[in-house]
Chains A and B, each alone.
Chain A
Amino acid sequence: MKKWLAALLMITVLIIAGCSNDSGGGVSTENSTIQKALKEKKLIIGMSTGYFPFDMKNPNGDFVGYDADTAEALAKALGVEIEYKQFTFDGLIPALQTGEVDMVFAGMTIRGDRALAVSFADPYFQTGQAVMLPGKDTTTKTWQDLDVKGKKIAVGIGTTGALLAKDVFKNAQVMDFENFPDAAAALAQGQADGIVYDEPAIAVWKLQNGDKVRQLEGLISTENLGIALKKNDFETIQWVNSFLSSYLGSPAELASREKWFETSDWLDEVVEE
């Protein structure tokens, strides 16, 4: 028995030691994401899907949405190609930490705890957490009305909505789903009584589903979304900030914003009927 355990421990230690070898610390500009992307002519973007209208896939399997527009503008400014890698939302920060991806465009809320693990560029969008209810629930007036024992609040695992819901709901039970559509499906079937999620996603869902769902007026919180970058990669952070300064408010960005947030024509593009 003891020999077994010793062998197991040894293997674990070896694996961990092996991993740390290529993780030499220090920040030099040669290793920055920007330099690497310029050299390889390729930028690897981590994204998750199901986050309307930021991150979606069209029937061809291409990423589309406000984030994809921003990523493409960024890659164009840099003069490189984009390669997308898809993760679930809770897998994005680990993917960035381990170097699987170069940047994360996922409508990610800038938070202090996340900023200990990765670095954020300046905010590129402001939004907040809203509450979605089944259409037939006409009595709930505020989110506090939902905070009753026996009520279930569906959230997307690892999202700000999930963290917020677990913080503010003291009596209701919070259920973690893989993504927003799964949470919305649970709501539609009466397996959940409400959803806490980013306002734009709820607004789009409401566009698609009409009276079947209801959005509670007002926001629980206001948030700034940011592009997540490797921790302390200062050259990249600075460059992305400069890019955002020129991109936000440009005709291309205004057109993208209008397309994804003010019209619903694109729903046919991403949703298969």
Chain B
Amino acid sequence: MYMYDWSVIGRNMDVFIDGALKTLEISALSILIAIPIGIIFGMGRISKNKFFRLISSIYVEIIRGVPLLVLLIWIFFVLGQFLKLGSYWGSIWGLAIFAGAFIAEIVRAGIQGVPKGQMEAARSLGMTHAKAMTHIILPQAFRRVLPPLASQFIMLIKDSSLVSVIAATELTLNAKNLVATSFRSIEVWTFVALIYFIMTFSLSLIIRYFEKRLLKSEA
């Protein structure tokens, strides 16, 4: 009953390429915003300041408890009323706020994963707490958080497919539009899945390469 016609892919390659580039752009900008958010709130989670710790915990728990799709729609339609973010920045901030909460947990685990003795040794050498943090703990934590941070970025590329619900142009929205005009849903979505896989898989190969180099430099 369903007749396959794969020529739709070749004829619309520009639509796929534009969409994939937009997906990468939105994901990259989101992760750039998400990393500082994650570092601030990740440190906040283990801060000695009670208020800072509370705010950070509330942020992380709320965001982790709300589905990304709902968060995006909420940011666009509710916050959008006041902030006039538009689709493009609305989706970037939505993804950044979402990923930020997960990065905060990665950062917290990274810092807590550094053995306690490191801090004690630094303090006994006369360093202040802040100095020990920036010179001793954070550089070590940095190495631990890199791999999970990289996989968070891969997750973000996949999650970015959801921003099509707030009319942000990227691969998934382009594909939806192409299906609406070509009615070749099976062909289009199969190819879209392949593009996402190529993007994420090549990224994880790159990450694996850098991880190996990092391990070597440590040894």
Binding site for B on A (CB under 8 A): 12, 16, 19-20, 23-25, 90-91, 93-94, 97-99, 113-114, 116-118, 154, 157-158, 162-163, 175-178, 182, 185-186, 189-191, 230
Contacts and interface: CB of A to CB of B under 8 A. Distances in A.
From A90, A93, A117, residue with most partner B Cβ within 10 Å: A90
Interface string B31-61: 0000000000000000000000000000000
Question: Across chains A and B, which 5 residue pairs bring their CB atoms closest together, nearest first?
Answer: A158-B180, A117-B183, A94-B185, A175-B167, A189-B81
Interface in B157-183: 164-167, 173, 176-177, 179-181, 183
B2 A19 contact: yes
Contacts, number: 78
Contact of A190 (B84, B165, B166, B186): B84
B1 interface: yes
B196 interface: no
Contact of B183 (A99, A114, A182): A114
Interface in B84-124: 84, 86-87
Contacts of B165: 178, 182
A113 B181 contact: yes
Contacts of B81: 189-190
Contacts of B80: 186, 189, 191
A182 B177 CA distance: 17
Given A97-B185, A162-B180, 20 more contacts: A16-B4, A19-B2, A19-B186, A23-B2, A23-B3, A24-B1, A90-B179, A94-B179, A94-B185, A94-B186, A99-B1, A116-B183, A157-B177, A163-B181, A175-B167, A176-B173, A177-B167, A191-B76, A191-B84, A191-B86
Contacts of A97: 1-2, 183, 185
Chain B facing A: main interface SS: helix
B20 to A, nearest CB: 18
A184 B56 CA distance: 35
5 contacts: A12-B190, A90-B180, A98-B186, A163-B180, A191-B86
Nearest to B194: A12
A97 B3 CA distance: 9
A176 B176 contact: yes
Contacts of A154: 167
A177 to B, nearest CB: 5
In this complex, the member of B2, B167, B177, B181 whose beta carbon has the largest number of chain A beta carbons within 10 angstroms is B167
A175 B87 contact: yes
Contact of B77 (A20, A25, A99, A185): A185
Given A189-B80, A191-B80, A98 B176 contact: no
A90 B179 CA distance: 7
